[in-house]
């Protein structure tokens, strides 16, 4: 376990262990749960499908495309759950492949009906 105070920033880094310099890694989905075996019943999404869901979530520049760096504020699932577990899924794409999901931007605008 890693112990931190409530509301303290938690910094993470994911690293792709591959010698191909033409690969890029990004955070796709990162979910937290008080149960390390169940990330569905009581789950809190920090990032979902590449879109930040938590206001404290932020990404950081990395000098290498093989690293994805991000942070968020520590929180708790009510006082009866003393631990929080994370499960993050990463995407690996070809560097410069702008049609891949790695380069898709997250749109937070609401969609409107185009009918009259």
Q: CA geometry: angle at 14 spanning 11 and 17, to 5°?
A: 150
In CATH, what number does 9-94 get? 2.60.40.4100
Cα 61 to Cα 87: distance, rounded to the nearest angstrom = 22
- 15: CB partners within 8 A, 6+ apart: 25, 66, 67
Tens of pLDDT, residue by residue, the chain (116 residues): 888 888 899 999 999 999 999 999 999 999 999 999 999 999 999 999 999 999 999 999 999 999 999 999 988 776 778 889 999 999 999 998 988 888 887 765 444 444 44
pTM for the model stands at 0.82
> H-type helices in the chain, by residue range?
none
């Amino acid at each position: 376990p890693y112990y931190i105070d409530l509301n303290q920033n938690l910094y993470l880094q994911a690293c792709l262990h591959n010698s191909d310099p033409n690969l890029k890694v990004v955070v796709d989905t990162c979910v937290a749960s008080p149960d390390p075996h169940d990330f569905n019943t009581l789950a809190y999404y920090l990032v979902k499908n590449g879109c930040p869901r938590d206001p404290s979530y932020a990404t950081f520049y990395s000098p290498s495309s093989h690293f994805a760096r991000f942070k968020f504020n520590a929180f708790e699932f009510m006082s009866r759950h003393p631990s929080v577990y994370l499960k993050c899924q990463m995407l690996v794409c070809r560097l410069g492949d702008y049609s891949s999901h790695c380069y898709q931007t997250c749109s937070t605008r609401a969609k409107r009906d185009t009918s009259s």
